[in-house]
Structure 1
Amino acid sequence: MAESAMTRRGERERYDNKLLQIDTGLVLSISAIAGIGALMLYSVGGMSWEPWAYNHLLRFGLCFVVMIGLAIVDLRIWLRLSYPFYLFSLLLLIAVEVAGEVRMGAQRWLTLGPVTLQPSEFMKLAIVMALARWYHESSAEEAKLHWKLIVPLMMIAVPVLLVAHQPDLGTAMLILLTGLAVMIVAGLDWRIIGASVAAGVAVVPFFVIFVMHDYQRERVLTFLNPEADPSGAGYHILQSKIAMGSGGLLGKGLGLGSQSQLNFLPEKHTDFILAAVAEELGFVGGLTVFLLYAAVVFISIRIANLSHNHFGRLAVAGATATFALYVLINGAMVMGMAPVVGVPQPLLSYGGSVMLTVMIAFGLVLGVKVHRYQELPRSVGLFD
């Protein structure tokens, strides 16, 4: 009889050493993306470590330690904390409504002493964990087609509405799509999926005309025809296209990009850093970044398939969906294939809240790999 993975000689000893179980391929891919981000922030900062590159590396270093620490945390703890973390994130979103800091016409931030947080970023992970726990404790029939599906739908809808009211349509869309991705992976009936897609397409014109703010509606119209206002609403997309197109195959060289170095490229250190990569490192540099992103997604999906418990599979699937949506939405925006929304490139762009959330999520992903053989109870209490 063939030996199982857990009875084969030496496998039990390697499994018991949790640090040896951490997926080095995923860790190296994440580190490479963050390293390229630091390099580009050094470049667009005027070939200087200040004001962005040094802080980016410092944040990544601290978050890296957090990620490795979380990777060895027992999955039962993640499971128990899923609902409290969701409720805590929801309370932070409500606090933003009451006492949030307003920047550029949007009320999205909370200032707690020297620290400024964007609570909507934490909700991206909280919704994944909460939905993963709900489905872990539910039956296959309840996940497919059942009146109890109103519970996960409400869990998704409440934060989406709060974030959309800030207004932050990009983040609200990410939370919505991530939640729906978890529901689909959990086994949602395809009839519901088809009906939802049809209803979504039908409601788009109504949403654009009657729900969107004027500036959001302008972004949609600008996306369709950016040349109509090249120095106004269409400026971001046109400058991004110029930067990406001028890089050619190998790029102009680090620190030599005209659009980024001369500040024609807006938000060059955050939302449009990918355009700076294409301008200075060329098609090869941009392709390298996307291949690293693809590696992260592929390895994460493989980890989800290795998990012996439903919570781990769904948590990794949801975290991976969030990460992939970040990459796809920002990439489409920078290339002029989608309206401009405030969605950065994870690990590449400058930003503390996004960095922390992404690295905590990958701590969970790595933890599922480390504890892939662990069986979790169907129902647990907060302090069991």
Structure 2
Amino acid sequence: MASGSSDKGGARPPRVLIIEDNPNEARALHDLLVWNGFEVAIAPTARQGWIRLRSWRPDVVVLDLGLPDADGLTVCQAMKSNPQLRDIPVLILTGRSAIAQLVEGLRIGAEDYVTKPYDPREVLARLQARLRFGRRIASLKTYHLYWWNLLRAFIPSPIWQAMQKAPHEITGPARMQTLSVLAVAWSGLRERIQEAARNEGLPAGTLHQVFNRYLNLLYEGVQAEGGIPTPLMDGVVLAWFNASLSGNDHPIRALRAALVLRERIRRLHSELPPPLRLAPRWVLHRGTALVGLMGGSSYLHYTPTGEATETARRLAGLAPEGEILLTSAFYEVIQGLIPARPWTEAPPFIRTPLYVVSGIPVVAERR
């Protein structure tokens, strides 16, 4: 049984589901609420009330505890255990002698109560209070969801996961940590940008779309291995492994990310004309960095800073095009997993040994 009509502007009136087995009491409450602008449905049993809950989705439930087929507390508990129904406020109808049941109903999640016999003005006032509170909660949830989704657009997935599982890992004090760092420098990007800036040159929109395809491959590949990519800066993208998600296998994950990404970019090149093919320069390094939230009250950014990132960034522009360059610190921990040869073409001012991945690697893309 349902009654009521839409108010001005097409918005529906608030819905109230009455779960009450006494037909006289249910009808009296129904008429009171309809007269005061509510849309009302009556369910005389717990089973019918549950069906109405799922199909009609009321804004408030008025629940009698003495139902013929189930205890009203069972209905309330089932509602509060259901993610789709638990936010619907429950107003308990109970006799003055059923204090123990009333206390139990409030304990398991009911929002309010009215004792029989009730004053109609009290019922209306409590329903209106529940509806106002529900609207505030819905507004807060919408606001919360909006900003949460906005943050997700800018926060890398591993940091997002750490914020949900262990927020202290992000918000705690910065610490020195050993990292594996993958640096990717995009050879030819500067020239393509200069060409796009000239009249009759490469369309800027085309370059933007294609480069985003490169970056999308890079970011997805890094995050698939638990790494965190940084935004593009001076033609170089850094990704670090072992913070905020720690693990002793971070060199393996960094190496696997580089190998998989190199192969995926080779496949991408087969789809692009030569002017849009960018040759990445890859560097893998292992070292220590200060990791934590950097900045001030107006802006904070979770990032590493120190030897690990600076060394990888400097070497990225010097690496051979299309090849993966390993520093000696990185090569020491993955030696035997991948064939590599000394980089004999290194500039003379680089005094530390460097290696270039060669042959068929043992570490392969995850299936």
Instruction: Normalising by structure 1, report the TM-score.
Output: 0.21
Instruction: Normalising by structure 2, report the TM-score.
Output: 0.22
The structure showing larger relative contact order (alpha-carbon pairs under 8 Å, at least 6 residues apart) is 1
Q: Which has the higher strand share?
A: 2
Q: Which has the higher helix share?
A: 1
Larger Rg: 2
